[in-house]
Structure 1
Amino acid sequence: MPAALARFERGRREEVEKIQHAADVSLVWFEHVARYLDFEPVQFAFGAMTRAKAITYDNLRLRAPAFVEKMDRAFAEGVRKEGFDVSLDKPAAPMFQPLRLREMVVPNRVAMSPMCMYSAEGGVPNDFHLVHYGARAIGGPGLMFTEMTCVSRDARITPGCAGLWNDEQEAAWRRIVDFVHANAATKFCLQLGHAGRKGATKLMWEGIDRPLESGGWEVMSASPLPYFPNSTVPREMNRADMDAVVTDFVLATERAERAGFDMLELHCAHGYLLASFLSPLTNHRTDAYGGSVENRLRFPLEVFAAMRAAWPAHKPMSVRVSATDWAEGGLTPEDSVAIASAFREAGVDLVDVSTGQTATVSRPLYGRMFQTPFAERIRNEAGTATMCVGNITTPDQINTILAAGRADIVALGRPHLSDPGFTLRAAAWYGADDIHCPPQYAPGKDQIFRNSVRDRADLEDLKVRGRPKTRAELRSPAEQAAT
């Protein structure tokens, strides 16, 4: 009997935990329903139906196509209010609706998330970066972020990190930006950052965040606390250090404009220098830059304000934040809303919401779209546009997030590494035939759009036959391919 019960427990645990998790997510939606009371009725209903992630946009298209058509039309009406002449008769899926950030128009709401490649030489991006960014821009995302690009030699995470502190680096980035603009409709955002106490470490595949055994450099942070016990102890920053860092960010901002980037993002997440000021786990200061969340915000806001003043007024800026430290004593939900609100008031146009990586005591709760609730809270409580990221892998998930009002644009990292044409494939599935494609690749676009029409017809045929569908059949071909 004990052996039989143990087998039963092992066999059922995963399914039971899925049900319990769905119930928890559903409960949170109802506990915070006030966030959604200003939504249009159709969007409110869609959010309620998809709150537990068990029902999705594509699933509803099969089960209740008329309802999803109303949802698409309501979303398109919202886009029209922003000044876009989009169709209401045959509205595009939410992920293929445009987005305006200041005077920059993002052609669709798919973003390639910033991902460090650790492949630069002396901070200079090279042919690898040209192919990496060029291929993914041609694949169709509306917005593409560079990896964290460091504002000085000592701001690097690793010896392989890209930088923007000298003329050679500026020329190399200009080459990549020019290629993207000449061959794609994708908008290109430069992410600038400083590693702080997580600097002078090995390449990711040699030991992520582990200190270099030789050839390192001095690191600094909000407080003299090492990341790992055997990490280099950072110097606590003084006013002169802060002034020097502000200058480095401003000079890099000016270089970014000369290189032709469309947008700029300030990295204030993942335990790097500016994040170390924001989190109470890493900021133990007793001066005006420590203690309350308002004090912890002072230096990051100083950097942002100096960059915003140096960056053209018509071009947007975003900030990446860690909305939680996933650890006791770390950032609270109220802190994250206050931080986002402060940046909004300082002139930020988009908050890129990530989580964790602040301290080694973090214990994240992973899962599908696991960071999206933080972006949703900031969007609907701080009143700022947000970008969500984190284990989002399918076009279906993107549309579900957008239609439910959980974020304004959705970023994906790993899916773009394995499939540079991720957005083009999704456009074919949803019939968004106005997606940009260079003429050299037009025959490929034509083929995938023809095939998708047949794939959708086959799926509709299964529905018409009326037999019970398997779980796999209820997923779209786009989702099946991604998983």
Structure 2
Amino acid sequence: MSEGRRSPFDPITVGPLKLRNRFIKSATNEGMAKDGLVTKGLSLFHERMAEGGAALSTVAYCATSLDGRTFVDQVTMNRDSLADMKSMTDAVHRHGGAISAQLTHAGSFTFLPKTEMATSKPLSASGGFNKVGVLSNRFFKKAMNLAEIDSMVEEFVVAALLAKEAGFDAVELHMGHGYLLSQFASPLYNKRKDEFGGTIERRLKFPNEVLSRVLDAVGKDLAVLVKFSMTDGVKGGNSIEEGIEIAKSLEKTGAHMAVLSNGMNVDSIQEMFGSPLPKTSTKPANAVIGLGMWLQSLTAPPDKQFHENYLQDNAQKIRAAVNMPLAYIGGAKSKQGVDDILAGGFDAIAMGRALIHDPQLINRWKSGADETSGCTACNRCVTMMYLPTGTHCVLTGAQDAELNKIPAGAA
């Protein structure tokens, strides 16, 4: 089969990992790790993705440390969680799937109570006023010094080694959406005057060091992916030209695959989802969602409507600039849409909302069904993550909330 006519059901090798097909369940915050516990609910969520045909399921937001969380209900890569993580990876492997840990540090994008953090000011590329911290009474952030940068690199390495020990097949470094690594990459957050600020090359120095060290530590055994924002989606942020430079830099450093996302949490959330967060006349229970909706109402074009493969134009510019394996993400919901993406030269297709709506979609496509996902891109699943049930599609229902209270490895 020619490169222009690859099938989504062809196997693919990513670094040392061979995947049974080209479908990746993208990282979507599950909200099923209540109080940081790796639960049976979280394990079942990813097991269902593997059972439904996904080659690789990505566990969203595995914090590199307790201070790296955005909320308390997130997985932290530590030895206390190891047995439960191993139970989860085993569950995915039973269905022939692979599983990835998305390694992330929030930087200044954190909403942890002050009692939950060791530092009074969250770390970031630059110090000063912390607009996100208004919600958690953390009005200022701290510019990381050289010792803190070195320590943070090591923190990512330790997290990757724990992922390997827990049975993960891959790690995904989160370098997008406004978390710490993207705070260094983006001029919206990085105002440094030293070797880690200024040009895009210098802004990438710290993220690339993290990637390089993680590759050295686990790259022979695990696939090492990087998720990044092709643009920041807001004035003053990275444009697609900087996005191309990021992709070239990741390729040069040796990433096994890049996952092409877009936009920033809060700053340009509509650029990420391709459609607005749900409008409601009632105040959202979660303050972060409320802030995102308010900022969205100020900056988002009122007539922006979801359409399939809405990030394809920018992704094609990245594809033309690099030879490294690329996973497209952004609104694929039909077999034809997937075929169009792969025909454009992309190596894999990452899907979020469509698989939350129906984890069995890929199996049906493989059996010959030619259907479009019933996902309406209403984005109400985004707000569901803060409920006891965790992330789910409002059209197809939730898992049992009680499963989110039980350790994954419990009998």
TM-score band (shorter)?
Answer: 0.7 to 0.9
Match for residue 85 of structure 2 among 160, 170, 173:
173
Change in Cα spacing, 1:187 to 1:339, as seen in structure 2 (3 Å) is: same
Paired with 1:145 and 1:118, the residues of 2 have a C-alpha distance of: 14
1:329–1:75 Cα change, 3 Å: same
Deviation, 1:375, is: 2.5
Moved more, 419-428 or 382-391: 382-391
Q: Contact (CA 8 Å) 2:16, 2:220: kept in 1 or not?
A: no
Residue number among 237, 247, 259 corresponding to 1:330 in the alignment? 237
CA displacement, residues 85-143 of structure 1 (integer Å, 9 cap, x when unaligned): xxxxxxxxx21111111232111111100011223244331111111111111111112
Question: Does the Cα contact within 8 Å between 2:15 and 2:219 map onto a contact in 1?
Answer: no
2:364 pairs, out of 425, 428, 431, with 425
* Cα pair distance change 1:479/1:254, threshold 3 Å: same
Distance 2:313 2:60 in 1: 24
Select the residue among 213, 216, 220 that pairs with 1:313: 220
Partner residue, 2:149: 242
In structure 2, which of residues 336, 353, 357 is the aligned counterpart of residue 414 of structure 1? 353
CA deviation after TM superposition for structure 1 residue 420, in Å:
1.5
Contact 2:67 2:116 in 1 (8 A): no
User: Which whole-Å CA distance do the structure 1 matches of 2:191 and 2:167 have between them?
Assistant: 39
What is the match of residue 48 of structure 1? none
Identify which of 112, 128, 136 aligns with 2:41: 128
- Pick one of 123, 127, 130 that aligns with 1:220: 123
Q: How does 1:249-288 map to 2 (within 5 A)?
A: 249-288=156-195
Sort the Cα spacing of 1:292 and 1:359 in 2 relative to 1 into closer, same or farther, 3 A. farther
| Off by >6 Å, runs of 4+ in structure 1 | none
Distance 1:387 1:415 in 2: 16
Structure 1 Cα separation of the partners of residues 164 and 269 of structure 2: 36
SS in structure 1 opposite 2:372? helix
CA distance in 1, matches of 2:266, 2:230: 13
Q: Which amino acid in structure 1 is aligned with residue 165 of structure 2? A: R
Report if the CA contact (8 A) 2:11-2:18 is conserved: yes
Match of 1:466 in 2: none
Task: Report if aligned partners of 1:152, 1:164 keep a CA contact under 8 Å in 2.
Answer: yes
2:333 maps to 393
Structure 1 276/481 Cα, relative in aligned 2: closer, same or farther at 3 Å?
A: closer
* Alpha-carbon distance between aligned partners in 1 of 2:209 and 2:85, rounded to the nearest angstrom: 26
1:229–1:107 CA distance, 2 compared to 1 (3 A): closer
Correspondence for 1:105 among 14, 18, 36? 18
Structure showing the higher helix proportion among its residues: 1
SS in 2 for 1:149: strand
Cα distance change on mapping 1:480 and 1:114 into 2, 3 Å: closer
When structure 1 is superposed on structure 2, of 215-224 and 183-192 the one drifting more is: 215-224
8 Å CA contact retained: 2:109, 2:133: no
Quickly say closer, same or farther: Cα 1:312–1:361, change in 2 above 3 A: closer
RMSD value, Cα: 2.1
Tell me if the contact between 2:231 and 2:243 (Cα under 8 Å) persists in the aligned partners. yes
CA contact (8 A) 1:118 1:158 kept: no
Matched residue type, 1:128: G
| Cα distance, 1:229–1:179 mapped onto 2, change above 3 Å | closer
Matches within 5 A, 1:353-364: 353-357=260-264, 360=267, 364=271
> In 2, are the aligned partners of 1:378 and 1:384 still within 8 Å (CA)?
no
Percent identity among equivalent residues? 27
Q: Could you say which residue in structure 2 is the equivalent of 1:404?
A: 344
What's 1:117 paired with? 30
Q: TM-score, normalised by structure 1?
A: 0.66
- Structure-2 change in CA distance of 1:230 and 1:103 (3 Å): closer
Query: How many residues are matched?
Result: 336
Distance in 2 separating the partners of 1:480 and 1:414: 9
Change (3 A) 1:229 1:147: closer
User: Measured at CA, do residues 98 and 257 of structure 1 come closer, stay the same or move farther in structure 2, by a change above 3 Å?
Assistant: same
Q: Whose RCO is larger (CA < 8 A, sep 6+)?
A: 2
Match of 2:61 among 148, 151, 176: 148
Secondary structure, aligned partner of 2:238 = coil
**Aligned match of 2:284:** none
- Whether 1:159 aligns to 2:75 is no
Q: Is the 8 A contact 2:233 2:239 kept in 1?
A: no
C-alpha change, 1:123 and 1:227, in structure 2 (3 Å) is same
- 2:100 pairs with 1:189: yes
Shift of 1:390: 1.9
Range with greater deviation from structure 2 (146-155 or 389-398): 389-398
Match of 2:2 in 1: 74
* Aligned equivalents of 1:95, 1:150: Cα separation in 2: 31
Q: Distance in 1 between matches of 2:219 and 2:325?
A: 20
Unaligned runs of 5+ in 2: 276-305, 377-411
Q: Could you say what secondary structure the match of 1:130 adopts?
A: helix
- The alignment partner of 1:197 has SS state of coil
Distance 1:400 1:321 in 2: 22
Could you tell me how far apart the structure 2 residues matched to 1:311 and 1:335 are? Answer: 28
Tell me, yes or no, if the aligned pair for 1:387 and 1:411 is still in contact at 8 Å.
yes
How far apart are residue 356 of structure 1 and its match? Answer: 0.8
In 1, the alpha carbon distance for the partners of 2:53 and 2:173 equals: 24
**1:293 aligned to which of 188, 194, 200:** 200
